[in-house]
Amino acid sequence: MGSTKCIRFNKCKTTKKNSYKGNISWYWSFFRMSWKYQALEHAKKDAPHEACGLVAVYEGKEQYFPCNNIAQDKGDQFIIDPDDWIVIEDKAEIIAVVHSHPNHSSTASDADLASCEYLDLPFYIVTPETENWSYYEPSGYKKGLIGREWVWGIQDCWTLINDWYKEKKGINLRHWDRPKSPKDFSKKPLFEHGLPLTGFVQLETTVNLEEGDVLLMDTTNTGILNHVALYIGQQTILQHCIKKLSCRETYDQKYIQWTKKAYRYAK
C-alpha cells in the first residue's frame, strides 16, 4: 500500500504574523479573493451535504468551479456530475478536485484516496464548520481487496472483480465506463452485454462453480440483474455491495437465489 502525502492547514485561522506582520484585515481581504474562499462558501451553503467542485486554470488564474453532487447519499459521498466536468474541461485546465466533509475531519477516507488515484489529480478537502483544509496528492495508494469503501465507478462490484483478476491471475480486464450515477445504471445494467465483451462465456447452469466465476445477481427481486459477485471457492464469494465494505461472504441460500447467471473467463 503506497503512502499518501497529506498537508493539513487551517487557512482561515492562521495569522502567520511573520508573513502578514499581524495585518489580519489584509490577510482576510486577500483570502476572500482566493478560490479557497469560494469553495469554503460553497461547502457551507451545501452543508450538511458534501459540496464538490473543481479547481481549474481559466484566463491565467486558478479559479474554483462549483459542481453538482449527484451521489445518492450526499451526506457521506460525492460524485461530480460528468456534465459539469465536461463543461469546465472544455474551457479551462482542471488541476484539482475539491469536496467537503460536513461535521467530519478533513482527513481523507479510503474512498477519497482511491478517487484521488483514479482521477490522478490532487484533492483538497475542507470541513465547513471548522474551516480546516487537507491536501492530498496521487502517490500510488492501493486498497486491498477486503474492506474497501464503495465508490461508484472506482471501487464497486465490477472494480473488485477487475482487481482480483489482475492481482490473482495477472489478467487485465476491461474497465467499463459507467453511466452518470448508480440510479441511471440500475435502469439499464451493462453486465449482460459487457461480460461477453470482456472474455467471459455464460455457463449453462449456476452450479458446479469454479474459482473466478462471475455471478450475475438480481438483488432487488425486480428482474434487473444489477450486481456481480466473484466465486472464490469453498462456497465463498467476494463482493462489494453499495454502501458497504468489500468482503468475503458465504455463498448461502440468499445469494444462490439472487444468482440468475454465471460466467467463466475463457479468453
Confidence band for 176, pLDDT divided at 50, 70 and 90: confident
* Domain end residue (candidates: 136, 170, 201): 136
pLDDT tens for each residue of 84-95: 999 999 999 999
The answer to whether residues 95 and 175 belong to one domain is no
Residues 119 and 162 in one domain: no
Residue 161 and residue 120 share a domain: no
Query: Residue 1 domain-assigned?
Result: no
> Does 162 lie in the same domain as 132?
no
In this prediction, residue 175 carries a pLDDT of 80
CATH number at residue 113: 3.40.140.10
Q: Of the residues 83, 107, 136, which one is the last residue of a structural domain? A: 136
Residue 79 is assigned to a structural domain of this protein: yes
The verdict on residue 255 lying in a domain is yes
pLDDT at 23: 53
Residue 221 lies in a domain: yes
- State how many domains the chain has: 2
Picking from 136, 165, 186, the residue at the C-terminal end of a domain is 136
Residue 148 lies in a domain: no
One domain for residues 26 and 124: yes
- Which range marks the domain in which residue 63 is found? 6-136
Element (H, E) at 183: helix 182-187
CATH number at residue 205: 3.90.1720.10
Convert 37-98 into a string of H (helix), E (strand) and C (coil): HHHHHHHHHHCCCCCEEEEEEECCEEEEEEECECCCCCCCCCCECHHHHHHHHHHCEEEEEE
| pLDDT score of 79 | 92
**Does residue 99 share a domain with residue 170?**
no
Q: Is 59 left (phi over 0), alpha (psi -120 to 50) or beta?
A: left
Shared domain for 81 and 163, answered yes or no, is no
Q: At 17, is the pLDDT very low, low, confident or very high (cuts 50, 70, 90)?
A: very low
Q: Are residues 167 and 257 in the same domain?
A: yes
Strands 123-127 and 93-100: parallel
Compute how many other C-beta atoms are within 10 angstroms of the C-beta atom of residue 253. 8
Same domain, 123 and 172: no
Long-range contacts (CB closer than 8 Å, 24 or more residues apart) made by 221-228: 224/186, 224/189, 225/189, 225/191, 225/192, 225/260, 225/261, 226/185, 226/186, 226/189, 227/157, 227/258, 228/157, 228/158, 228/161, 228/191
pLDDT digits (tens, 9 = 90+) for 27-85: 444 445 689 999 999 999 999 999 999 999 999 999 999 999 998 889 999 999 999 99
What number of other Cβ atoms are within 10 A of residue 163's Cβ? Answer: 19
- Whether residues 93 and 183 share a domain: the answer is no
